[in-house]
Amino acid sequence: MVVQRDKGKPIVSIIILGIIIICCIFAPFITNHDPSQYYLDALNRAPDTEYLFGTDSLGRDLFSIMFFGGRTSIMIGVLGAAIITVIGVIYGCISGISGDKVDSVMMRFVELCGSIPSILMTLILTAIFPAKDVFSMSVIVAITGWFALARIVRSEVRQIRNSEYVLYARSIGGSFLYVMRRHLIPNFLSAIMFVVVSSIGACITAESTLSFLGLGLPLDILSWGSMLSLANKALIMNTWWVILIPGLFLVITLICITNIGNHLRKEVNRKSSNL
């Protein structure tokens, strides 16, 4: 039984993701150059033993930027997902527990916002509040990403809101936050886990997209997205490593996260079908 369970788990994804995250956390020990330094005697260097991932047109070491930048990107992913979870869970719980009228107004609002292409909303938001640091960037990508989660939470809550234990807790005066914490969240946690994990990937993607378009973090904050923003130049300069390596890193990280998320979703589905 145990063996079979382990088989289903995305072990490879977890290991790869773990390695990437550990490398990013211990970036100062792994990298062999200063990521913010311009090595003017090594411009446009293809990957070699000194500059493992090569350098860009101003002699910045891509290997070092990769891991230092990964810190920013993963941080934005995790922070963004956390904000999404907080907003989505609270909003979903309120909506789920409220009466039909409030519920439908709240859900229509979510649908309305969800129907606006998220890239458009993000662009508008960055125009109003320019993303100056990691936190504001996370907020911007999170604000446009919580709608799906809110809907799932709401439907889960509606299923259990009339259970005796919930009714009892509320009738003896348990506050909304208490009920949410003690009775609602534990019940739908596993159901939303895959959305939360996937939103880490979504936030990383959103940051990269924005930075690629030149609307994301300032260029002096290193991230995978700001590395990709060098891609345009790289295409003209024929320096393939400048775009290929960060691209691959980003893609591999995202695949790993998706894979883990996918696994969690399957777990949930299996449980439901066991009912």
Partner 1 sequence: MRNRKMNSIVALAAAAVLCIGLAGCGGSGGAGSTAAASSAAASAGSSAASSAGAGSDMSNTLVYAGENEDSINPVLTNHDELTDVIFSGLMKYDKNGKPVNDLAEKVDFDEASLTYKFALRKGVKWHDGKDFSAKDVEFTYKELTEDKNLSNSLTTDYEDIESIKVVDDNNVEIKMKKYNANMLGYFTIGIIPKHLLEGKEISTDEFNKKPVGTGRYKFVSWDTTGGMITLEKNTDYYDKVPNIDRIVYKTVAVESTKATMIQSGEADLAWLNANYAAKFKDNANFNTWDFATADYRGASMAMESDFWKNNKDSIGVLNYALDKDAIIKSVLNNQGQAAYSPIQKNPLGSNKEADIYSYDLTKFDEEMKKLGWEKGSDGIYARNGQKFHFRIQTRDYEEERVDIANLMSSMLKKAGVEMEVCLVTKFDWKAGYDGFLAGFATQFDPDMAYKQFVTNGSSNTMKYSNPKVDELLEKGRRGKTEAERLEAYGQFEVEYAKAPGVLLVAYLDGNYVGAKGVKGLDTTRVLGHHSVGVMWNIEEWTITR
Provide the residue type at 35 as one letter.
P
Classify residue 95 by burial, with Cβ atoms within 10 Å: 0-12, 13-18, 19+.
buried
The answer to the question of residue 46 lying near partner 1 (CB under 8 A) is: no
Among 199, 208, 211, 259, binds partner 1 (CB under 8 A): 259
Among 52, 148, 243, 268, binds partner 1 (CB under 8 A): 243
Identify the CA nearest to 147 among candidates 167, 123, 186, 121.
Answer: 121
Among 3, 5, 7, 275, binds partner 1 (CB under 8 A): 7
**Cα separation, 56 vs 78, whole angstroms:** 28
Q: Minimum CB separation from partner 1 for residue 57, in Å?
A: 6
The answer to the question of residue 115 lying near partner 1 (CB under 8 A) is: no
The answer to the question of residue 252 lying near partner 1 (CB under 8 A) is: yes
**Cα separation, 259 vs 74, whole angstroms:** 16
Among 1, 2, 3, 40, binds partner 1 (CB under 8 A): 40
Nearer to partner 1, 88 or 261 (CB): 261
**Cα separation, 196 vs 200, whole angstroms:** 7
The answer to the question of residue 119 lying near partner 1 (CB under 8 A) is: no
Among 11, 248, 270, 272, binds partner 1 (CB under 8 A): 248
- Whether the Cβ atoms of residue 39 and residue 55 lie closer than 8 Å to each other: yes
The answer to the question of residue 220 lying near partner 1 (CB under 8 A) is: yes
Nearer to partner 1, 138 or 259 (CB): 259
Nearer to partner 1, 148 or 231 (CB): 231
The answer to the question of residue 18 lying near partner 1 (CB under 8 A) is: no
Instruction: Candidates 55-63, 72-80, 81-89, 99-107: pick the segment binding partner 1 (CB under 8 A).
Output: 55-63
- Whether the Cβ atoms of residue 44 and residue 237 lie closer than 8 Å to each other: yes
Residue 144: half-sphere exposure toward Cβ, Cα within 13 Å: 22
Instruction: Indicate the DSSP class of residue 41.
Output: T
The answer to the question of residue 232 lying near partner 1 (CB under 8 A) is: yes
Cα Rg, the chain, nearest whole Å: 22
The answer to the question of residue 247 lying near partner 1 (CB under 8 A) is: yes
Identify the CA nearest to 208 among candidates 196, 217, 195.
Answer: 217
Among 213, 265, 267, 268, binds partner 1 (CB under 8 A): 213
Among 238, 273, 274, 275, binds partner 1 (CB under 8 A): 238
CA angle 80, 124, 86 (to 5 degrees): 25
Nearer to partner 1, 40 or 275 (CB): 40
Q: Which two tokens stand for residue 97?
A: 């527990």
Residue 139: half-sphere exposure toward Cβ, Cα within 13 Å: 11
Provide the residue type at 104 as one letter.
S
The answer to the question of residue 136 lying near partner 1 (CB under 8 A) is: no
Residues that bind partner 1 (CB under 8 A): 7-8, 12-13, 36-38, 40, 43, 57-59, 213-214, 218-220, 231-238, 240, 243-244, 247-248, 251-252, 255, 259
